[in-house]
A and B are shown apart, each in its own frame.
Chain A
Amino acid sequence: MSEKTNLMPTLVGTDPRSLQHQEPAAEVRQLEMPTGLLKHIGVVRTPHFDESRTREEFRAIKRYLVARIDSEDASDAQNARNILVTSAAPGDGKTTMCLGIAMSFMFERDYQVAVIDADMRRADLSKRMGLADELGLLDYLENEELEVSDIVYPTSVKGIYAVPAGRPRISAPELIASARMRELLDIFHHSGEKRRVVLIDSGAVLSCSETIELAKRAGQIVFVAAKGQTKRADIDEGLGILHRQAGPIDGSKVAMVFNKTDKSQSPVRYSALR
C-alpha cells in the first residue's frame, strides 16, 4: 500500500474496484504536500507561482462543465460527462488544461475523474505521469483480453485516475472509432457510486483524425486557444472540421478556454499568494 502513496501512479491499483477503495489517509497526506499539488503534477512550476489564482481559474472552468452536467437529463448527462479537451493546433495547452481541470475535480465530493490520454501523436499526458511505457488505451482497444483495470491507474490525487495512451499504433484512429471505445466510456460511467467525469486529452483537430471520433462521443468539448499563438485561421478550420464531421458545433457543446493569458486578463484578480 505504500506504493499507492507515491506521487505517480503505480500498477498496484489496476483493478477497477480499486477506484472505489482508496485509503483516505494516503490521499490526505498527498494533498497536504507543502509545495502544492499542481506543481507536483507538473502543471506549473515557477518561483512565484500563485497557486490560488490558478486554482480559481480552473475552478471557474470546472464549474461551467459541472453546471452543464447537472443541467442535462439522465441520458444526456452521461454524454455530458465525456469532456473532450482539444485545440486547433499542437502546443496550445491541451494537456495542461486537462490536468488542471482534473486537479480541480479533486475538491469535488460527488465526482471522480478519469483522465484519458488520447493524444496518439505526442502522448504528453502519459509522459508527464510516467506512464508512457505502460499498457494504455490503444492496448485495451486492440487486445480484447485486457480489462479496464489493466489500463486505469490511480494517481496520488484523490478521485483522479489516469489512462495512458498505450503503445502507439498506426491503426489508432480506427481503434478510437471502434465500439470497444464506446464500451470503455460506458464502463467508466456505470461503475462506482460517485458520478464519474471522463476527461479526454486528445490531439489537435488539425493533426489527429481520432479527435473527430472522440468529439462524436463527447458531450462537451473544451476548445483551447492560446493567447498570441493560436491562429484564427486554424481555429476556424478546426471548428469547421468538427462541425462537419462531429455534429453541429454551437455554444451548447463547445466552449472555449483562452490559455496562456496575462494575469491582468484573468477573471481571478484578487488572489492571495499561498
Chain B
Amino acid sequence: MVGQLLTVIGDEARRIWYYRWIALFITAVIFVGGAIYVLRLPNVYDAWGQLYVNKETPVSVAAQGVSLVGDNFGSPYVVQRTLLNDQNLQQVIKQIDPRAASMDALAMARAVTGLRGHIFLSGDQGDGFFELHDIDTDPQRARAVVQTLLNLFISQNVSRNRDDLQRASTFLDQQIADYEKRIAALETQIDAFRRAHPAVVTVTVPQSTIIAPAAMASASSPAAASAAPAAPTSPALIEAQQRVNRLQGELDELHLRFTDLYPDVVAVRRQLADAQAARDVIASAPPPPAAAAAPAVASAPPSQPHVFARVRRQVAASVPPDVKAQWIDLQHSDEVLRAADQQLIAKRDATLMSIAVYGADGAGKYQLTRAPVTPAFPTGPNRVLLLGLAAVGAVGAGLAGAYLRGAIDGVFISPREVEDAFQLPVIGTVSWEAAWDTRAPRRRIPLSGPAALLIAFVCIAGQVHAARTADLVTKPAPTGQIQGAQA
C-alpha cells in the first residue's frame, strides 16, 4: 500500500518535473507580480488612544446593590456597539474628510463601511482600560479619527446616562404615585368592609395587616373594639405569626417576578405552610385554667393571649366563608400593593443615587488615559511575511500549473501508465540520453580570446613601463635640460 502510494507520488512528481519550466515560469511570474504588489503596498500607521471606564467610583461602591447601572455598562461589546455605529462614524467622516459634504448616501455608506473596517477596539481585561485603534495609511488622519471617536464616545455616554437616569426617575415617581393612590383606595375599601363586617377583624392572615386595621376598627366599632385584644399576645404565638408574615411577604415578592413553579417560590411556599402549621399548633394549645373559663373577651387582660385567640377563633368561625374569603383577598391585595410600593421607592432611591454618581459630568466614569498621537513609525504591512506568502503561493501555483499541463496533455510519465492505458506489454524502457542531434553542444563563452588579449596587453604594458623606467634610470639626462629644469 505504501509502496503503491510512493509510486504514484513519484510518478506525479516526475510529471511536474517534466513541466518544470512551466512551473518555473508560473512561479516567477506570480512571485514577481506578488512582490511588486507587496512592495507597492503603502505603509499603514496605527493611531490609538486609551480610555478608562471606571466602574468603582466611591459613590458607586456605596450604591452597590441598589444602583441601576449594571456591570455590563462598560463592557467592550457595549462600548463597541455604542461607539462604532453609523451615526458616529458619519460624524467622524464629516469632521475629517472635506469631501464628505458632497457625498451622497451611497458614498457615505461606503465611507462608513471603509472606516469601520480599520477601526478596532481592544477589549477590557477587567481593569477598565480600552484601547481604540485606527489603522490608516495617513497617520494624521488615523490620529484624527481616534480623537474624534473618543470625544464622541465620552460626550454621548455622559449625556446619555444622565438622560436615561432622569427618565427612569420620572417613571418611578409616576409609578409610586400610582401605587399610593391604589393603596389609599384599597384602605378605604378595607375600612368599608370592616365596618360592614366587624367580625372579620378576627380573620387575620398576616400580622402586619391585622394590627393597623384592628386599631382603626376599635375606634369606630364597638364590636371591633372588643375584637382588638384578640391579637395574639403569647411570645411564641407572636413569633410564629411574624414568621408566617415574613414568609408571606417573601412569597408575594417572589410572585412579582417569578411563576409558581420557580424553585424559590416553591421553597418559600413550603416554608410558609410549615410556619402556618406551627402557628396553628401553638394557637390550638390548651390555655391556662384561669383563663379558659373566661368567655368575656372584652374584660380579659392582655397577659392572657390564649383567651383572645380562642375567642377570635370562635368569632371567626361565625363569619360566613364568602365574607371571610373576601376579607383575606383584600388583605392580600393590600400586602402586595404595599410591597410593590416599597420596591418602587427603593428603585427611585437607587436612581437618585445613580444620578449622583454619573449624572453630573461623567468625570468619575470616563477618563482619557492616553490621548491619540500621530504615529511616527508604520506598523505594517509585514512585507517579509507577505513576500514569503507570495513565494509559497507562487511555488504552489507553479506546481499546480505544471500538474495541470501534464494532465491536459495526457502524456505518460511511467511505463506502468502506458501498460495500464493500452493493455499492451511494455517490453522495455530506454533511458534518456541526449543524442547528437537533439542537444546542441553548449556554447561556451569564448573567454580565452579576451583573456589572452588582456594578458598580452598587461604584459606589453608592463614591458613598456619597465623599459621607460630603465631608460630614466640608466640614461643620463642632458645637462642643459637638468639645469634648465633646476632654473
A residues near B (Cβ < 8 Å) are 42-46, 49, 53-54, 57-58, 60-61, 64-65, 93, 96-97, 100, 128, 222-223, 225, 227-233, 235-236, 239, 249-251, 254-263, 265-267
Tell me if A57 and B425 are in contact (CB < 8 A): no
The one of A45, A93, A233, A266 in contact with B410, judged by C-beta atoms closer than 8 angstroms, is: A233
Task: Provide the residues of chain B in CB contact with A57, threshold 8 Å.
Answer: 428-431
Task: Provide the residues of chain A in CB contact with B479, threshold 8 Å.
Answer: none
Closest B residue to A254 by CB, please name it.
B424
Task: Provide the residues of chain A in CB contact with B15, threshold 8 Å.
Answer: 228
Quick check: is B421 within 8 A (CB to CB) of the other chain? yes
Quick check: is B1 within 8 A (CB to CB) of the other chain? no
Tell me if A225 and B435 are in contact (CB < 8 A): no
Tell me if A61 and B428 are in contact (CB < 8 A): yes
> What is the CB-to-nearest-CB distance from B132 to chain A, in angstroms, rounded to a whole number?
60
B435-456 residues with Cβ-Cβ distance < 8 A to A are: 435-437
Task: Provide the residues of chain A in CB contact with B410, threshold 8 Å.
Answer: 231-233
Task: Provide the residues of chain B in CB contact with A249, threshold 8 Å.
Answer: 424
Task: Provide the residues of chain B in CB contact with A235, threshold 8 Å.
Answer: 418, 421-422
Task: Provide the residues of chain A in CB contact with B423, threshold 8 Å.
Answer: 251
The one of B18, B415, B434, B435 in contact with A258, judged by C-beta atoms closer than 8 angstroms, is: B415
Tell me if A44 and B427 are in contact (CB < 8 A): no
Quick check: is B411 within 8 A (CB to CB) of the other chain? yes
A254 to B418, CA, bound (A): 13
Tell me if A61 and B427 are in contact (CB < 8 A): yes
- 28 pairs of residues in contact across A and B, judged by CB atoms under 8 Å: A44-B433, A57-B431, A58-B428, A60-B427, A100-B430, A128-B437, A227-B412, A228-B412, A229-B411, A230-B412, A231-B410, A232-B412, A232-B421, A235-B418, A235-B421, A239-B424, A251-B424, A255-B426, A256-B425, A256-B427, A257-B430, A258-B412, A258-B429, A258-B430, A259-B429, A265-B14, A266-B429, A266-B431
Tell me if B411 and A64 are in contact (CB < 8 A): no
The one of B424, B425, B429, B435 in contact with A43, judged by C-beta atoms closer than 8 angstroms, is: B435
Quick check: is B414 within 8 A (CB to CB) of the other chain? yes
Tell me if B427 and A96 are in contact (CB < 8 A): no
Which has the most chain B C-beta neighbours within 10 Å: A54, A262, A267? A262
Quick check: is B71 within 8 A (CB to CB) of the other chain? no
Tell me if A262 and B432 are in contact (CB < 8 A): yes
Quick check: is B297 within 8 A (CB to CB) of the other chain? no
In the A-B complex, the 7 residue pairs with the smallest Cβ-Cβ separation, listed nearest first, are A228-B18, A61-B428, A44-B433, A232-B410, A260-B432, A64-B427, A258-B415
- Give the interface residue-count category, chain B: 20 to 34
Tell me if B433 and A54 are in contact (CB < 8 A): yes
Tell me if A228 and B413 are in contact (CB < 8 A): yes
Tell me if B429 and A46 are in contact (CB < 8 A): no
> What is the CB-to-nearest-CB distance from B423 to chain A, in angstroms, rounded to a whole number?
7
Residues 72-104 of chain B: 1 if any A CB is under 8 Å from the residue's CB, otherwise 0? 000000000000000000000000000000000
Tell me if B434 and A44 are in contact (CB < 8 A): yes
The one of B429, B433, B435 in contact with A267, judged by C-beta atoms closer than 8 angstroms, is: B429
> What is the CB-to-nearest-CB distance from A62 to chain B, in angstroms, rounded to a whole number?
9
A60 to B426, CA, bound (A): 11
Quick check: is B409 within 8 A (CB to CB) of the other chain? yes
Tell me if B428 and A258 are in contact (CB < 8 A): yes
Task: Provide the residues of chain B in CB contact with A261, threshold 8 Å.
Answer: 414-415, 429-432
> What is the CB-to-nearest-CB distance from A239 to chain B, in angstroms, rounded to a whole number?
7
Additional A-B contacts beyond A239-B422, A257-B428, A258-B418 (18; CB < 8 A): A42-B437, A45-B435, A46-B433, A61-B427, A64-B425, A64-B427, A97-B430, A231-B411, A239-B424, A251-B423, A251-B424, A255-B426, A256-B422, A258-B412, A260-B430, A261-B430, A266-B429, A266-B430
> What is the CB-to-nearest-CB distance from B428 to chain A, in angstroms, rounded to a whole number?
4
Q: Known contacts A229-B411, A233-B410; is A262 also within 8 Å of B434 by CB?
A: no
Q: Known contacts A232-B412, A251-B423; is A225 also within 8 Å of B418 by CB?
A: yes
Residues 311-347 of chain B: 1 if any A CB is under 8 Å from the residue's CB, otherwise 0? 0000000000000000000000000000000000000
A97 to B14, CA, bound (A): 23
Q: Known contacts A227-B18, A235-B422; is A49 also within 8 Å of B430 by CB?
A: no
A231 to B409, CA, bound (A): 6
Task: Provide the residues of chain B in CB contact with A222, threshold 8 Å.
Answer: 427
Closest B residue to A127 by CB, please name it.
B437
Task: Provide the residues of chain A in CB contact with B19, threshold 8 Å.
Answer: 228
The one of B413, B415, B431 in contact with A263, judged by C-beta atoms closer than 8 angstroms, is: B431
Task: Provide the residues of chain B in CB contact with A43, threshold 8 Å.
Answer: 435
Tell me if B428 and A60 are in contact (CB < 8 A): yes
> What is the CB-to-nearest-CB distance from B431 to chain A, in angstroms, rounded to a whole number?
5
Tell me if A256 and B435 are in contact (CB < 8 A): no
> What is the CB-to-nearest-CB distance from A226 to chain B, in angstroms, rounded to a whole number?
8
Tell me if B435 and A64 are in contact (CB < 8 A): no
Task: Provide the residues of chain B in CB contact with A239, threshold 8 Å.
Answer: 422, 424
Task: Provide the residues of chain B in CB contact with A232, threshold 8 Å.
Answer: 410-412, 421
Task: Provide the residues of chain B in CB contact with A45, threshold 8 Å.
Answer: 434-436
A54 to B409, CA, bound (A): 28
A208 to B424, CA, bound (A): 23
A265 to B414, CA, bound (A): 7
A6 to B34, CA, bound (A): 61
Residues 1-28 of chain B: 1 if any A CB is under 8 Å from the residue's CB, otherwise 0? 0000000000000110011000000000
> What is the CB-to-nearest-CB distance from A69 to chain B, in angstroms, rounded to a whole number?
13
Which has the most chain A C-beta neighbours within 10 Å: B415, B423, B430, B432? B430
> What is the CB-to-nearest-CB distance from A16 to chain B, in angstroms, rounded to a whole number?
31
A93 to B18, CA, bound (A): 17
A32 to B432, CA, bound (A): 25
> What is the CB-to-nearest-CB distance from B429 to chain A, in angstroms, rounded to a whole number?
4
Closest A residue to B421 by CB, please name it.
A232
A237 to B422, CA, bound (A): 11
The one of A65, A230, A267 in contact with B411, judged by C-beta atoms closer than 8 angstroms, is: A230
Tell me if A259 and B412 are in contact (CB < 8 A): no
